[in-house]
Amino acid sequence: MFSVKLVFVVAAATLALGGRHDNYKVVRVVPQTEEAVELLQSMHINGDMLGIRFWKKPSKVGRFADLMFPASVARFVYSKLSAAGLEPKVIHDNLQKVIDAEAEQIARQTPFRAGDDLKSFDIANYHSHDEINEFLVTMAQKFPDIASVFSIGQSHEGRDMKVIKIGVSGNGKSSYWIDGGIHAREWITVTTATWIINNLITQYENGDSDTVKMLKSIDFYILPVLNPDGYEYTRNTDRMWRKTRSGPYCKHSIFGKKCCYGVDPNRNFDDHWDTTGVSNDPCSDEFAGQKAFSEIEIVNMKNWILANKNTLDAYINLHSYSEDWLLLYAYAKGAYPPDIRDQKSMATQGARALQAVHGTSYTIGSPPDILYPASGGTYDWVRDAAGTKWAYALELRPGPNSYNGFVLPPSEIVPTAEETWAGLKTIAVQMMSKKE
């Protein structure tokens, strides 16, 4: 089994500082035996102090796992993988080079400000949280007949969590919520949410009959960045950051006191909180927090959801990556809602519509069935607390046949959004059919 105690002290001194990932490796393995899965799971639990982090956690035999580690422990990691019969495929030999290239490309953009020509907002590129908020405000200013912007509150560091409402004024309408960026490094979810906003408004203004009909029946509420502090931290300090930026939270061990920042916002909801798929180690990417709803971002969202639960018929939580359409419930194996057949049928329709756009094939199932259990999650809570009929999480591109991971090139932004919207639109169609 994986043992790290003998190499902790030596390796800890060699880890990259300041959020950089110079000479960090990222490799993919596909375990073919339960023993190999167990080895990877042990590395996931025990490898933090060596700088070993998983981009995609080990889950099942035949299901890929991606792990990142510094060059200083590469020989150790490769020997462990080899002993378990695992053949790593190198995704990135020096991760920082890829991050630097991405940052250079983004730096060439002209920042977008409220009131700018909307055509100057490059929908096929990555943007700061401020730019995205300015884009929402400008959309609402230019199209006040169908769009308005409001804040559900501020983040831990004081950033406005702005939501855009898109819909034609009317009574008795259903609500459909979409959020991105709950995990900071999952940038493709932010651009997908932003593209959907642009598409809904543009199609309506162009007179697209399906969109006009949809917006007369449904109000869309879209929050592109649920974790704005973490998102900005990935842009300015550590591209691979996942959590919020609250803290610090400290732990004591035989190696002394260590303090770390942030909570996994997708483990912080009061739905079977802190039971499965979480960590009590504040330095872990899956730290559930010191209590449920400890994170102000999650409290802000909770308050809005509960205040609007009577009209909220659909909720989508966007993630990346692996190309999965995730069903309820995430917290335990064998836990399903009473209407699981309806849920799966709807997901199947959505995944088919998604695949029809660019050929991307999604796997459908609950996290414990196709990945692993994880408690305190977003869409579990929304279903249980708000009674929302259609509550899903989607893991967007890339999938098992791509090796970009979290650093998806801009060329993937529009295709990802196009197919995702095609899938999500099927839920809106179903919502409208129930009203007719």
pLDDT above 70: percentage of residues in the chain? 95
Per-residue confidence band for 39, with pLDDT thresholds at 50, 70 and 90 = very high
Evaluate if residue 434 carries a pLDDT over 90: no
pLDDT at 2: 52
Q: How do residues 202-213 score in pLDDT, each as one tens digit? A: 999 999 999 999
DSSP annotation string for 186-201: -HHHHHHHHHHHHHHH
Q: How do residues 312-361 score in pLDDT, each as one tens digit? A: 999 999 999 999 999 999 999 999 999 999 999 999 999 999 999 999 99
pLDDT at 254: 77
Identify the three-state secondary structure at position 147. strand
Q: How do residues 252-262 score in pLDDT, each as one tens digit? A: 877 788 899 99
Evaluate if residue 97 carries a pLDDT over 90: yes
Per-residue confidence band for 424, with pLDDT thresholds at 50, 70 and 90 = very high
Contact 233, 286 (CB under 8 A): no
Pairing status of strand 160-166 against strand 174-179: unpaired
Per-residue confidence band for 17, with pLDDT thresholds at 50, 70 and 90 = very low
Of 391, 55, 422, residue with least CA distance to 240:
55
Identify the active-site residue in 395, 412, 418, 436: 395
pLDDT above 90: percentage of residues in the chain? 91
Q: What is the mean pLDDT of the chain?
A: 94
Among 47-61, 200-214, 415-429, the range scoring the smallest mean pLDDT is 47-61
Sequence-ordered list of residues with C-beta below 8 angstroms from that of 419, at least 6 positions apart, any chain: 354, 355, 357, 358, 360
pLDDT at 8: 37
Per-residue confidence band for 215, with pLDDT thresholds at 50, 70 and 90 = very high
Task: Give one word for 3, left, alpha or beta, with left for phi > 0 and alpha for psi -120 to 50.
Answer: beta
Span 211-236, average pLDDT: 98
Evaluate if residue 200 carries a pLDDT over 50: yes
Q: How do residues 138-194 score in pLDDT, each as one tens digit? A: 999 999 999 999 999 999 999 999 999 999 999 999 999 999 999 999 999 999 999
Q: Residue 286 and residue 59: Cα distance in Å, rounded?
A: 15
Structure tokens that stand for 25 in this block = 């490796």
What are the beta bridge partners of residue 174? Answer: 218
pLDDT at 258: 87
For the whole model, what pTM was predicted?
0.95
10 Å Cβ neighbour count for 408? 22
Per-residue confidence band for 1, with pLDDT thresholds at 50, 70 and 90 = low
Fold entry, domain 8-104: Alpha-Beta Plaits (3.30.70)
- Which superfamily, per CATH, for 118-233+293-435? Zn peptidases (3.40.630.10)
> In the chain, where are the structural domains located?
8-104, 118-233+293-435
**Residue 418 a catalytic site member:** no
Q: How do residues 372-392 score in pLDDT, each as one tens digit? A: 999 999 999 999 999 999 999
Structure tokens that stand for 267 in this block = 């483990």
Per-residue confidence band for 12, with pLDDT thresholds at 50, 70 and 90 = very low
